[in-house]
Structure 1
Amino acid sequence: MSKKRGLSLEEKREQILQIFYESQDFFLLKELEKLGPKKGVISQSVKDVLQSLVDDDLVMKDKIGTSVYFWSLPSSAGNQLINTRTKLESELGKCRKRLSELTGQRDNLKKGREESDEREAALEELKAVELQHKKLKEELACYADNDPAALQKMKDATEVAHTAANRWTDNIFTLQQWCSTNFPQAKEQLEHMYKEVGITDDFEYLQ
């Protein structure tokens, strides 16, 4: 036998509202928790369901002394529906206004773009110019190696690299001199180490 399905939140809300509508009386939370199960709403969930109704202004509450009372009349639900309808109508009006503005912008953009022989000819001419521009860019790229600006840039980069290479060469000679002065007994080992890293007898400054 299948297990009976529990009430959804909306169904629980409706049942709790029925308690108010049928009695048209004021209730404490503990009273509603006792009445809830008779409507299919377990006592443990009455508080949360009640709070959701309060948040939506379907149930009113007020503190009298040390007690908090809850109440709701059918007219409260009617007023809530009226307020919701008013809000939706306002939003609908804004959407219609925005639609009208966008439609006007679209119509303005269409002006001067109507289909005609002149427009078609202008578009064809534009395509031809764009194609010619693309071909010229491709042709220009073939001569990039002879571009004076590119050549000057390469020359400047070469000079920087040349200066840097000689500066490091000078640093290496300085380091070799320091090693020879401080470790004369390791001359053979140092020369062997130099050859291993590519510093041979023909190592010299770049001209």
Structure 2
Amino acid sequence: MSKKKGLSVEEKRTRMMEIFFETKDVFQLKDLEKIAPKEKGITSMSVKEVLQSLVDDAMVDSDRIGTSNYFWAFPSKALHIRKQKLEHLESQLIEGTQKKQSLQQSIEKAKVGRQNTESRATMLKELEGLRHQRNQLKTELEKYQECDPEVIEEIRQINKVAKDAANRWTDNVYAIKSWAKKKFGFEQNQIDKAFGIPEDFDYIE
């Protein structure tokens, strides 16, 4: 019989947050060491470490009253943190768009292999990184749809702006590929390979 696989660190963190969100209560460490193993399958020996990692990431609040430490976390704060992350991503997309506009002027006169070719590859990697972060945050937000409808709707609007900005970048990448193909006679697969463009590169639906 195979040995049962234990929970990963991220799974433990997620289940620990569920305890706070489902109960909306304040706990001491000793309380969580009793509740977590029974209700969420988190071993009592790892409760303290998991809890501290959540406190360090500002996902769980803590305070000392007398000789005891108390811990709590509410869904509204989690939503606020994710909203801040989305706003940060939006700021990065705006900054990236400005960099792209500046780079576009030099691309018109550029030749393959010159320094700005490396810049385009770097910008493409940054774009893919931002898309990945946006998709991760979108997945996380789906967990909190019933917590605060107004905040969720606002975040969705911000997410739409970020998506539109990313697709504008995709337009420009295709424009650069078309220009390079006409200017230098390269095949599309040669251009993709030269600039490190993945095969599944496409617009965000």
- TM-score under structure 1 length normalisation: 0.50
Deviation at 1:104, TM superposition (A): 1.9
CA contact (8 A) 1:60 1:70 kept: yes
Distance in 1, Cα, partners of 2:102 & 2:65: 53
- Aligned residues of 1:59 and 1:76 also touching (Cα < 8 A): no
Secondary structure of the 2:97 match is helix
1:1-207 mapped onto 2 (5 Å cutoff) = 1-38=1-38, 39-107=40-108
Contact 1:59 1:71 (8 Å CA) reproduced: yes
Structure 1 SS opposite 2:108: helix
Alpha-carbon displacement from aligned partner over 1:134-180 (angstroms, at most 9, x marks no partner):
xxxxxxxxxxxxxxxxxxxxxxxxxxxxxxxxxxxxxxxxxxxxxxx
SS of residue paired to 1:68: strand
Quote how far apart the aligned CAs of 1:43 are. 1.1
Could you say which residue in structure 1 is the equivalent of 2:129?
A: none
Structure 2 gaps of 5+ residues are 112-205
Between the aligned partners of 2:51 and 2:94, the Cα distance in structure 1 is 33
- Point out where structure 1 has 5 or more consecutive residues left out of the alignment: 111-207
Give the match for residue 124 of structure 2: none
Partners of 1:2 and 1:108 in 2: CA distance:
63
* Distance in structure 2 (CA, Å) of the matches to 1:104 and 1:66: 64
Instruction: Report the Cα distance in structure 1 between the residues aligned to 2:85 and 2:52, rounded to whole angstroms.
Output: 19
SS of equivalent to 2:63:
strand
Post-superposition offset of 1:108: 5.5
TM-score w.r.t. structure 2 length?
0.50
Q: Which has the larger radius of gyration?
A: 1
Task: State the distance in 1 between where 2:14 and 2:49 align.
Answer: 13
Question: Could you say what secondary structure the match of 2:58 adopts?
Answer: coil
One-letter amino acid of the counterpart of residue 70, structure 2: Y
Following superposition, the deviation at residue 66 of structure 1 comes to: 2.0
SS of the aligned residue for 2:34 comes to helix
Shift of 1:21: 1.2
Q: Distance in 2 between matches of 1:83 and 1:44?
A: 33
Letter in 2 for 1:29: L
Q: Which amino acid aligns with 2:107?
A: R
Q: Percent identity?
A: 50
Deviation at 1:15, TM superposition (A): 0.8
Separation in 2, partners of 1:108, 1:65: 69
Whether the 8 Å contact between 1:29 and 1:69 is mirrored in structure 2 is yes
1:27 counterpart SS class: coil
Tell me by how many angstroms 1:80 deviates. 1.4
* CA deviation after TM superposition for structure 1 residue 106, in Å: 2.3
